[in-house]
Copies of this chain bind each other. A is one copy, B any other.
Amino acid sequence: MTVRNELLKNIRQVEPYVPGEQPQHRVVKLNTNENPYPPSPRVAEALRNLDADTLRLYPDPEASALTEALAGYYGVDKNQVFVGVGSDDVLSLCFLTFFNSEKPVLFPDITYSFYKVWAQLYRIPYECPKLNDEFRIVREDYYRENGGIIFPNPNAPTAIYEELDFIEDILAHNRDSVVIVDEAYIDFAGKSALELIGKYDNLIVVQTFSKSRSMAGMRIGYAISNPDLIRCLNNVKYSFNSYTMNQPDLVCGAAAVQDEEYFREKIRMIVATRKWAEEQLKELGFVFPEPKANFIFAKHPDYDAEKLFQDLKANNIYVRHWNSERIRDYLRITIGTEEEMKVLFDFLKSVL
C-alpha cells in the first residue's frame, strides 16, 4: 500500500541527519568518535545488580541518582544539572527552549551538522559565520546581534580547542543571548567552561557520556548552567516526556561518574595514542590542525580524501568523510586503540 498524496500533503517532510555508518561486520571502526575502551567495570557491576523487578515502575522523572552524581562530581547544585537521551537530546531541547527569538542564532559554518538540522526543524533563523582559513572560529563574528550562540569546544570535526579567554569574550559580548558551549570532547582537550557558570548567567555547558565515558550505547548527555535556565529546560522536557532516562541509564550513569580513576586512565591512554598518531600521520605527509579531541581532522596534500576514504573502507577501515565545501579534502579519524591505529597506519603506508 502506498500512501495517497491527499494524506501526505499535510505531513512534515524533513531532510534527516545521516549518522556515521554502524557496520555489521568486523572492522576497524574509526568513524563515529566512540571510545575504544569499555566503560568502567562499575557500569557492568551496576547492570548486573539492577533488580529487573523495579522496571515495572516508572523511573524517577527527575533522574536524581544521575543528576546528583553529576552535581557532586562537578561541585554544583543538583538543580543546575539537566540530563537527556544523549547530548543530541539535550542540545535539541536547548535549541527549542533557548533559541526562541526572531533574531538569527549563530554557529560556525563548519561544525556539528545537527545544529542546522535542529534550526530547520524548529524553524529557528540562523547564520553561520565562516571559520577562518585555519579553521578557527573568529570571535568577532559573534559580537553582533543574535538570538543565541552555539559552538562545540573542541569544535567538530576540526578538533580545535579554544582557551577560556576566548569563551569568556563571547559570553561577555552577548549578555542577553544564551551561549551554549557543546563540550562533547572537552575531557580530551583542556579546561571546561564550567568554571564560568557562576560568572555568566547566559552560559550553558553541554557534555556527554558517549565519548570520554565510553557509554555511547547508553545515551546519556547533560547540561550544566544556573538553576533558572535549567528549570526552563526541564519545563520544556516535561512537555514532551516526563520520563526520558530509563532505569539502566540512572544506575549505570551514576556508577560511571563514581569511577574517577578509570576515567582519567582511559583519557590518558587515548591522549597518548593521539600523540603517537599525530607523529605517524605527519611522517606520512598528512597535515591537520592541532587535535584536542579523540579524533584528528587530516588531509594529505597529494591524495584525494574521497578516494582514500573508499580505499580504507574497502579494507575494512572506517573513517569519516564529508563531501562538502571546504572540508572535502579531509578525513576525520577517531583515535582507536594502538592496535587499531597500527592497522590504519600500515594500510596508509602501503598505499601512500
Residues of A within 8 A of B (CB): 1-4, 6-8, 10-19, 22, 29, 32, 34-39, 41, 43-44, 47-48, 50, 52-61, 85-86, 88-89, 92, 96-98, 100-101, 117-118, 120-121, 147-148, 175-178, 198, 201-202, 210, 214-219, 226, 228-229, 232, 234-249, 252
Contact = CB atoms under 8 A, between A and B. Distances in A.
A235 B13 contact: yes
B55 A217 contact: yes
- Copies of this chain, complex-wide, total 2
Contacts of A39: 52-53, 55-56
Contacts of A10: 98, 100-101, 147-148, 176-177
Contact of A16 (B35, B235, B246): B235
A18 to B, nearest CB: 8
Interface of A is mostly: loop
A248 to B, nearest CB: 4
Given A7-B178, A55-B218, A201-B1, A47 B50 contact: yes
24 contacts: A1-B201, A2-B201, A3-B226, A4-B201, A7-B177, A10-B176, A11-B178, A12-B96, A12-B100, A13-B235, A14-B236, A16-B235, A34-B57, A39-B55, A55-B216, A57-B216, A59-B216, A59-B217, A59-B219, A85-B246, A86-B244, A88-B240, A218-B247, A219-B246
Which 3 A/B pairs are nearest by Cβ-Cβ distance?
A16-B238, A44-B52, A3-B228
Given A86-B244, A88-B241, A216-B243, 4 more contacts: A13-B232, A55-B252, A92-B241, A248-B248
